[in-house]
Amino acid sequence: MTRSARVPTVHEYPCRVDTETRWSDNDQYGHLNNAVYYELFDTAINGWIAEQILANPDPDPAQRPMAVVAESACTYFHELSFPLRLTIGFGVSRLGRSSVTYDLVIGKKSGTSRAAGAASTVAARGHWVHVYVDPNTRRPSEIPDNVRRVLASARIEKSDDDTAARAVGTTARIVHTARTTVN
Amino acid sequence: MTRSARVPTVHEYPCRVDTETRWSDNDQYGHLNNAVYYELFDTAINGWIAEQILANPDPDPAQRPMAVVAESACTYFHELSFPLRLTIGFGVSRLGRSSVTYDLVIGKKSGTSRAAGAASTVAARGHWVHVYVDPNTRRPSEIPDNVRRVLASARIEKSDDDTAARAVGTTARIVHTARTTVN
Amino acid sequence: MTRSARVPTVHEYPCRVDTETRWSDNDQYGHLNNAVYYELFDTAINGWIAEQILANPDPDPAQRPMAVVAESACTYFHELSFPLRLTIGFGVSRLGRSSVTYDLVIGKKSGTSRAAGAASTVAARGHWVHVYVDPNTRRPSEIPDNVRRVLASARIEKSDDDTAARAVGTTARIVHTARTTVN
Amino acid sequence: MTRSARVPTVHEYPCRVDTETRWSDNDQYGHLNNAVYYELFDTAINGWIAEQILANPDPDPAQRPMAVVAESACTYFHELSFPLRLTIGFGVSRLGRSSVTYDLVIGKKSGTSRAAGAASTVAARGHWVHVYVDPNTRRPSEIPDNVRRVLASARIEKSDDDTAARAVGTTARIVHTARTTVN
């Protein structure tokens, strides 16, 4: 594989959200259960949108589509465990008519300086596809303009080298990388 | 796209486990939260291994490696919700020295006949990589022989056409399929 | 207190529901996390009502109040852990105008015979108060007739002054039992 | 009932911990599922102890008993929902040889001033009993001295009037009963 498998740091993403762990997140191996990462990614994305929309309200509140998960994936590099505080970094790697794709990483909460952040280790990387649907028919519908503006503000640049930008191919490459490293 | 996107039915997998939903699984959209699918996949895999090992016990119980999740993915096709009863079909698509890859599907619990089962709809398809590690060092270790025998019994045939066999490439293809359908 | 602190067996309750555990239910002590018992009680109650109502449908489906939890409690006697299968026994200890109180016990799934069941150990005992509310105002509303008929079918015999006040009595008596063992 | 039903505010408790909600905490009624409150109480208690112990380390780290939940209860007054940030107030209402009882309240995160805090509404009140056990035998064992010092620092004054030491309504009676019986 000629492409490098470097995982971006939390601070290379346009959005960063601090989050916390719960006692019940630790499974019997004493580390965060794998499903918990998806709860945290979901929370980061939905909390961020909710917060941004408040500052950028919907002109027509009645017309409020919902975002359902069409696809998710996570690659786990290092263990995390309660009572750690964590930081999630994420951005939008693809913005379609009714769907949006996120690239996310999660790690221990780091200091506030970019230098400190850059040094902190990414424990897992996620991939997330939300599809906006009509709440009644539950069929895909166009992403509303006010949400689209929020999502567009978090776009990750697409490029050929391995930066956070390359989210669309992420899962496949991560799979490959993980396979070569663990086996 | 020349590759067919047919998702195998639950009954095309060598292992099938019935499972149930919980009231708290439904999120505010009235359907199973996306993270719940991972809890169910995890339960199906670990419960199946525990049950099989009992019938095929470890010659040396002291030497008991643990399996940690290195990678997981899910593509969601249809909503599921409490109080449905579900069936998970799964098999081993790759068996390495220290890691094992599963291909899984989940849908409403169907009748016991293969014909009935074939007709039931797959609601989501998962991809799962377990790495066996030494409980102390948490570094990859060889899959123990008794576990390997269990895993080998659930191998999915590899072939060029799109059957359950094609698990390794699954995520990438599902992503592609999902993208073409939703956007 | 003249009443004995004997905890009823699962088979002494009018309703019994089998349930299963999940891998993620085990916390870092290798046993079911305390919050999981509440998920299981909730599931048993709501699943049972849903099933009973199907056989006894609402004459006016539009008028469908929701039941919210006003109060819950659990006393833990013994550990349970994945991959055990469990049985929950429960009944209605008080049926008011808008609220209903349940008494529940949970233990390992036992054989089907009453004798076998009587021998199985109760691992925890719960107390649960549902209040029916109007879905729009979220204020208490009368329990609908079809639901009331279901609840009435699961009444537990009253003794002494069985009022709402004695919801506490359940917990207190449980506490009494627990006290002798733990402290 | 001659006792007032006033519930103490978060700021009347010796310990206060901020916490956050997750998207998956909301159940299909769009509010925090009842079991989530127990996850949050557990997290507040265990996180606080872990943090305090770090500043007050165990003289003998090998001798580390674990705290298991013997009893829990919650009374729900008002709905909470994601994406709210919350504050938990709690204190130790009883400190025995091997068990400790907590009284807890939870509500929306308020301002930092005591005046602002006093005005915020308590959404639920909990009751929690931890029993310290030997990790190997899982039988009750004495609370270690360094933990006892932490717990003692959070004692709630016992009195006849309605301070934080007293609970309210049903819970109050449960707490009161429990206190008199367990002590």
DSSP A146: H
Touching B: which chains, 3+ CB pairs < 8 A?
A, C, D
Q: Residue D3 falls within a domain, yes or no?
A: no
Q: Are D38 and C36 in contact (CB under 8 A)?
A: no
> How does pLDDT run across C121-180, given as a tens digit for each residue?
899 999 999 999 998 888 999 999 999 999 999 999 754 333 333 333 333 333 323 332
Using a pLDDT cut of 90, give the percent of chain D over it: 64
Q: Which two tokens stand for residue C87?
A: 């049985």
pTM of the model: 0.85
- Averaged over successive runs of 10 residues, the pLDDT of chain A (183 residues) comes to 67 96 96 98 96 75 80 97 96 97 94 52 97 92 93 79 36 31 34
Structural domain for A68, as ranges: 10-182
Q: Residue C87 falls within a domain, yes or no?
A: yes
Total count of residues recorded for chain C: 183
Interface test with B, best of A175, A176, A177, A181 (most B CBs within 10 A): A175
**CB nearest D20 (choices: A20, A50, A82):** A20
Give the Cα separation of C24 and B38 in Å (integer): 10
Q: Residue C15 falls within a domain, yes or no?
A: yes
CB spacing of A73 vs B171 below 8 angstroms: yes
**CB nearest B183 (choices: A66, A69, A99):** A99
User: Rounded to 5 degrees, what are φ and ψ at A99?
Assistant: -125, 155
Chain D partners within 8 Å of A66 (Cβ) = none
pLDDT of amino acid B76? 98
Give the Cα separation of C81 and D138 in Å (integer): 14
Q: Which two tokens stand for residue B41?
A: 């996949």
Chain D partners within 8 Å of C34 (Cβ) = 38, 42, 69, 72
> How does pLDDT run across C116-135, given as a tens digit for each residue?
444 568 999 999 999 999 98
Chain A partners within 8 Å of C27 (Cβ) = 23-24, 26-28
CB spacing of B38 vs A34 below 8 angstroms: yes
Supply the DSSP string of C61-120, one letter for each residue: TT---EEEEEEEEEEE-S---TT-EEEEEEEEEEE-SSEEEEEEEEEE---SSHHHHHHS
Q: Is the pLDDT of residue D150 over 80?
A: yes
CB spacing of C76 vs D66 below 8 angstroms: no
Q: Residue A2 falls within a domain, yes or no?
A: no
> How does pLDDT run across C13-47, given as a tens digit for each residue?
999 999 999 999 999 999 999 999 999 999 999 99
CB spacing of B50 vs C20 below 8 angstroms: no
Q: Residue B3 falls within a domain, yes or no?
A: no
Of C83-87, D47-51, D112-116, D158-162, which range is least confident?
D158-162
pLDDT of amino acid B82? 96
Nearest CA in chain B to A39: B35
Q: Residue A104 falls within a domain, yes or no?
A: yes
Chain C nearest C-alpha distance from B38 (Å): 10
Chain B partners within 8 Å of D22 (Cβ) = none
Chain B nearest C-alpha distance from A178 (Å): 7
Nearest CA in chain C to B24: C39
Nearest CA in chain B to D31: B28
CATH of the domain at B18: 3.10.129.10
Q: Are C155 and C91 in contact (CB under 8 A)?
A: yes
**CB nearest D24 (choices: B23, B30, B33):** B33
Higher pLDDT, B168 or B9: B9
CB spacing of C28 vs A33 below 8 angstroms: no
Could you give the number of structural domains in chain B?
Answer: 1
**Which strands form A66-76's sheet, in the order they lie side by side?**
A15-20, A85-95, A99-108, A122-133, A66-76, B66-76, B122-133, B99-108, B85-95, B15-20
Q: Residue A66 falls within a domain, yes or no?
A: yes
Of A124-138, B113-127, B168-182, which range is least confident?
B168-182
